[in-house]
A and B are shown apart, each in its own frame.
Chain A
């Protein structure tokens, strides 16, 4: 498979009055052509910062790349001069933001806003750009696009605005589309429509998508592969089935079991205790260890490396070390896994265990 984007050992810090916040502490992942990679994690886990650093949207006065590289088309985006970056941003890599209410300019007609990237990045005349823009608006499902071209964002509903934002992001047929919680602000029915739209468009224009969300239902719906982030690091990465049916990291267990399921009626919902780590003073070992009941002594002393589970599945937890004590995931999770058709725990529970 062709790798379109490679992030290697990325480390990034913010300089604040309180000190250096190590927001990303060694993140590596690849994005393959035509796939959707979901990045999940709590707020503050570094998922948005990672993608903003790919787009170079972070303030240069306070953020600093400490290490690592972001390879795109053979170029390292972390070292590219601003002028070069402007040619990539919005053309080859573009972004859909979380809040469609604030990511459109309220004083500009939506037509102008869709035309903007076309005029900026492609050498076309204005009438031609308008034609392309109307085509795009039709593609994302804005009815009556010709007449609505001259309308302002406030004349559209939230779902329609997000469609317009998607049209702008797609204007130059980007190779990589970064979607930062694109449906979090929307209702479930509108969310379903937007997700269907994104999948359709992906098939049509063959773009790769990085999808950031904390909604595991959405992940199950859109993703081919999933990366779970915690405390500025990726703790587990695998195909969507591997992450949902055979999770290895205690944090992934926690995330999966804090979602209420539709068929199970537990007395108490599992809640991950405590709060995310303070990245001003990041913990030395596994950042999740203080909140994990499965933490081993070594977790507090040394950060775990990635252990291979399968060709596509890696998890950073000492539990996978050959010398680690064998633990079962919490009962609630095994129970939950049993309801998942195709889960490995399901087979183990009915088969070999005696």
Chain B
């Protein structure tokens, strides 16, 4: 397979560590993201998927574990210039297009902020020209540069957020629920835009969402998170056709589809973590059931799943 761009190794993120209020938001997860692919991360709110994205981009310091970007550790001590270099390669698109744009800045300055910080433009003329180019890339036009965020609709704001992320020519973009605040028809526009940009610029995405149907559509591989742990990881089609972990099955069975006849017969499978009956010295590990399809399970469950697949 392709070259690894990002390696997450046994990453842990505990908040209020050591106190009684300790929260294990991420509890030892590992996965790789390959260059040029879209990796989808799904799960319910509070499962740690956004924390994972934010920790990868160093908005949080990790409690334990490692994130390697192109072989370089993200969380190791770094000089300012090294951090800057990394920040140029990795960018983020945030969930809420209303909260993630500074209401007092013009769109021109919002998008150009990264250009200024990284010294990518020489003068005001070039700066403006670059911003106009970016606006056109995301389907807006140059008149929009001198406006303020409140003058835009949700979908347009998310496009501004995308333009800002693209400004510094990143290789890797973390999109944290970029479409969940948008209308259905606008969601499709933004998803198509992200896909077109990926093809054009060879971008790699980490796409975080709770809307499984959209994630399946955009992702090459998908990881499912539950309470800070990655419970299943598989190619997108495989995950939907042959979900193996009971939590994934439960999550898939809860999605309503735009098909009334199917809806009348859909049975939701609730997930109860107690059903696993793990023994005390059973090792719960991430195991590869079929090539590329990993499940968090015990040795016994692993054998059962293997039998079930064949």
- Asked if B68 lies at the interface with its beta carbon under 8 angstroms from chain A, I say no
Q: Say whether, besides A158-B45, A217-B257, A271-B188, A188 and B212 are in contact (CB < 8 Å).
A: yes
**How close is B148's CB to chain A, nearest CB, in angstroms?**
16
Query: Looking at the complex, which one of B184, B259, B260 makes contact with A214 (CB distance below 8 Å)?
Result: B184
Q: Which residues of A contact B258 (CB under 8 A)?
A: 216-217, 219-220, 244, 256, 259, 261
Bound form: Cα–Cα A188–B195 in Å: 25
Bound form: Cα–Cα A342–B263 in Å: 13
**How close is A80's CB to chain B, nearest CB, in angstroms?**
33
Bound form: Cα–Cα A241–B185 in Å: 21
Give the interface SS of chain B, mostly helix, strand, loop or mixed: helix
- Asked if B237 lies at the interface with its beta carbon under 8 angstroms from chain A, I say yes
> Quick check: B153 and A189 within 8 Å, CB to CB?
no
Query: Looking at the complex, which one of A216, A244, A260 makes contact with B214 (CB distance below 8 Å)?
Result: A260
Q: Say whether, besides A187-B45, A189-B44, A268 and B256 are in contact (CB < 8 Å).
A: no
> Quick check: B256 and A218 within 8 Å, CB to CB?
yes
The chain A residue sitting closest to B213, CB to CB, is A260
- Asked if B54 lies at the interface with its beta carbon under 8 angstroms from chain A, I say no
Q: Which of A169-223 contact B (CB under 8 A)?
A: 187-192, 195-196, 214-221, 223
Q: Which residues of A contact B261 (CB under 8 A)?
A: 241, 340-342
Q: Say whether, besides A187-B44, A260-B217, A220 and B263 are in contact (CB < 8 Å).
A: yes
Bound form: Cα–Cα A218–B260 in Å: 9
Q: Which of A258-273 contact B (CB under 8 A)?
A: 258-262, 265, 268-272
- Asked if A254 lies at the interface with its beta carbon under 8 angstroms from chain B, I say yes
The chain A residue sitting closest to B240, CB to CB, is A262
> Quick check: A258 and B254 within 8 Å, CB to CB?
no
> Quick check: B213 and A215 within 8 Å, CB to CB?
no
Bound form: Cα–Cα A271–B159 in Å: 15
Bound form: Cα–Cα A255–B186 in Å: 10
Q: Say whether, besides A189-B44, A221-B256, A215 and B183 are in contact (CB < 8 Å).
A: no
Q: Which of B233-292 contact A (CB under 8 A)?
A: 237, 240, 250-251, 254-263, 266, 268, 270-271
> Quick check: A265 and B237 within 8 Å, CB to CB?
yes
- Asked if A42 lies at the interface with its beta carbon under 8 angstroms from chain B, I say yes
Q: Which residues of B contact A195 (CB under 8 A)?
A: 256
Bin the interface of chain B by size. Answer: 35 or more
Q: Which of A262-316 contact B (CB under 8 A)?
A: 262, 265, 268-272, 275
> Quick check: A272 and B185 within 8 Å, CB to CB?
yes
- Asked if A142 lies at the interface with its beta carbon under 8 angstroms from chain B, I say no
- Asked if A110 lies at the interface with its beta carbon under 8 angstroms from chain B, I say no
Bound form: Cα–Cα A260–B209 in Å: 14
Q: Say whether, besides A265-B237, A269-B191, A272-B185, A240 and B260 are in contact (CB < 8 Å).
A: yes
> Quick check: A244 and B257 within 8 Å, CB to CB?
no
- Asked if B192 lies at the interface with its beta carbon under 8 angstroms from chain A, I say yes
- Asked if A103 lies at the interface with its beta carbon under 8 angstroms from chain B, I say no
Bound form: Cα–Cα A340–B154 in Å: 32
Bound form: Cα–Cα A255–B251 in Å: 24
Q: Of residues B188, B195, B259, which shows the largest number of chain A Cβ atoms within 10 Å of its Cβ?
A: B259
**How close is A341's CB to chain B, nearest CB, in angstroms?**
5
**How close is B22's CB to chain A, nearest CB, in angstroms?**
19
A-B contact pairs, 16 of them (CB 8 A): A187-B210, A188-B210, A189-B271, A192-B268, A216-B258, A220-B262, A223-B260, A256-B258, A261-B257, A262-B216, A262-B257, A268-B192, A269-B217, A271-B186, A341-B262, A342-B261
Closest 7 CB pairs of A and B: A217-B256, A271-B188, A216-B258, A260-B217, A258-B188, A272-B185, A271-B189
Given A189-B250, A269-B217, 9 more A-B residue pairs with CB atoms under 8 Å apart are: A187-B44, A187-B45, A192-B256, A216-B184, A221-B256, A260-B214, A262-B216, A272-B188, A272-B189
